Amino acid sequence: MSAKQTEGRVAEPLDLCELAPGHVRAIAPYQPGKPITELAREFGLDERKIVKLASNENPSGLSPRARAAIEAALPELARYPDGFELTKALSERLGVAMESIVLGNGSNDLLEMVAGAFLAPGRAAVFAQHAFAIYPLCTQARGAQGIVVPAREYGHDLAGMLAGITPETRVVFIANPNNPTGTMLPADEVEGFLRRAPRSVLVVLDEAYNEYLEPPLRCPSVAWLARYPNLVVLRTFSKAYGLAGLRVGYGLCHPDVAAMLNRVRQPFNVNNLALVAATAALADEAFVERSYQLNVAGMKQLTAGLRRLGLAWIPSFANFVSVEIPRAKRQEGQSAAGAVYQRLLRQGVIVRPVAGYGMPHHLRVTVGLPEENDRFLAALENALGDGST
């Protein structure tokens, strides 16, 4: 056989998966909330009757101004995107130089960029137990070590996280408020952490739910940028701005850090429609205010209902709440929370199991519209009963 004939063949059977580095093979893929369409297919349900409270999406949909901007931009879709206008709008709104702003395909993209630019085998990232799932994922994907610091009453233990920093550590991820616990860190504690953290470590402050915090509880994180060159603030248009499906987020950081993130950023990572929609959504302050108010009322409605059912929950500062499912309800082969999740699905209500976050006895439910919250509470009551429905 000539050399040419053997080209492209392998002498021994090879598991193609073994071509991937061990740290990639070891990744446990992200488990998203179940899409409405998938549940409709699985159970033969009518999509319009399904209530999805599983992914912390804005129940009001998107701002009408964002929608109009999307429609107006359709004729331009043959062109590659230009992030200038959104970057400029953010710069003016936040009082941050354009060089300090990096746009992302969701803030998820920014987390990936931070990991891509600063993590590698032999390096480490610190994050809290029960913190956002993407932190361990993007750390693992780069072959870096994840240092998990035990939570304190489900929240971040910042003193523990500071103590957890090793010489190999390059990044600390802090979610404030955190998902899926809904816990919040007071501004003075976060700033205390920034003051004490080594400057050789990037502190990523993920503020995906910032707009849902009562204004006095929001961190002056943008002002901190001038004082802490190792700070990276992440925000998103996926939650209060109602643009989860378009994927837009941004990072605020020192221009030198931004330059590093831009080295690993895909050139056209945010698409045309996402850019115009986010620019319009940013200007529609009334929409964000209405979303905030709807969430305040919905959170009251949900927690009042949970109290009525005699359930415990983790007090939440975001647009979701994690409720504890009594363990006495545990049944054969399945956790009580798992069984309740399934019974809710059968009633057309999608919530989020959080066993993957080390919380096997909780279910996370997003604050929905008043009628959605009622549907959930009624279905939950049913699921906690005999569960026959």
Ligand X SMILES: *Cc1c(COP(=O)(O)O)cnc(C)c1O
Residue burial 42-52, b: 16+ Cβ < 10 Å; e: rest: eeebeeeebbb
Q: Which is nearer to ligand X, 248 or 383 (CB)?
A: 248
Considering only 118, 132, 224, 341, the residue that binds ligand X (CB under 6 A) is 132
Q: How far is it between the farthest Cα atoms of the chain?
A: 78
Query: How far is the C-alpha of 339 from the C-alpha of 343, rounded, in Å?
Result: 6
Shortest approach of ligand X to residue 146 CB, angstroms?
16
Q: 34, 56, 141, 357: which one contacts ligand X (CB under 6 A)? A: 56
Closer by beta carbon to ligand X, 174 or else 258: 174
Residue among 343 and 362 whose Cβ is closer to ligand X = 362
Distance separating alpha carbons of residues 213 and 57, to the nearest angstrom: 16
Subset of residues 158 to 177 that bind ligand X, contact rule: CB under 6 A: 175
| CB neighbourhood size of 299 (10 A) | 21
In angstroms, give the least distance from the CB of 81 to ligand X. Answer: 17
Measured in whole angstroms, the distance separating CA 82 from the mean position of its chain's CA atoms is: 25
User: What minimum distance in Å lies between the beta carbon of 269 and ligand X?
Assistant: 12
Residue 235: name the closest of 354, 336, 323, 107 by CA. 107
- The residue number with the shortest CB distance to ligand X is 106
Return the number of the residue (206 or 284) whose C-beta is nearest ligand X: 206
Q: What is the DSSP string of 65-122?
A: HHHHHHHHHGGGTTSPP-THHHHHHHHHHHT--GGGEEEESSHHHHHHHHHHHH--TT
Q: Does 211 bind ligand X (CB under 6 A)?
A: no
Binding of ligand X at residue 59 (CB under 6 A)?
no
The string over 360-382, giving b where at least 16 C-beta atoms fall within 10 Å of a residue's C-beta and e elsewhere, is ebbbbbbbbeeebbebbbebbeb
Q: How far is the CB of 167 from ligand X (least distance, A)?
A: 27
Cα 255 to chain centroid, rounded: 24
Q: Provide the minimum distance between the beta carbon of 2 and ligand X in the complex, in angstroms, as a whole number.
A: 52
Q: One symbol per residue from 77 to 106: x for binding ligand X (CB under 6 A), - otherwise; what is it?
A: -----------------------------x
Cα distance between residue 174 and residue 205, in whole Å: 5
Candidate ranges 69-77, 139-147, 237-245, 350-358; the one touching ligand X (CB under 6 A): 237-245
Q: How far apart are CA 42 and CA 163, in angstroms?
A: 47
Output the smallest distance, CB 242 to ligand X, in A: 11
Residue of 208, 246, 261, 350 interacting with ligand X (CB under 6 A): 208
Interaction of residue 233 with ligand X, rule CB under 6 A: no
- Chain Cα centroid distance, residue 230: 22
Residues 246-285 that bind ligand X (CB under 6 A): 249
Q: Which of residues 302-361 bind ligand X (CB under 6 A)?
A: none
Backbone φ, ψ for residue 253 (5° rounding): -165, 175
* 319 vs 60: CA distance, rounded Å: 12
Residue whose CB is less far from ligand X, 183 or 272: 183
- How far is the C-alpha of 333 from the C-alpha of 322, rounded, in Å? 23
Q: Pick the stretch among 73-81, 118-126, 231-239, 336-344 that binds ligand X (CB under 6 A).
A: 231-239
Bridge partners, residue 235, by sequence: 250
244 binds ligand X (CB under 6 A): yes
Is 236 a binding residue for ligand X by CB under 6 A? The answer is yes
Quote the least distance from Cβ 159 to ligand X, whole Å.
21
**Of positions 57, 206, 211, 284, contacts ligand X by CB under 6 A:** 206
Which residues here bind ligand X, judged by CB under 6 A?
56, 106-108, 132, 175, 179, 206, 208, 236, 238-239, 244, 249
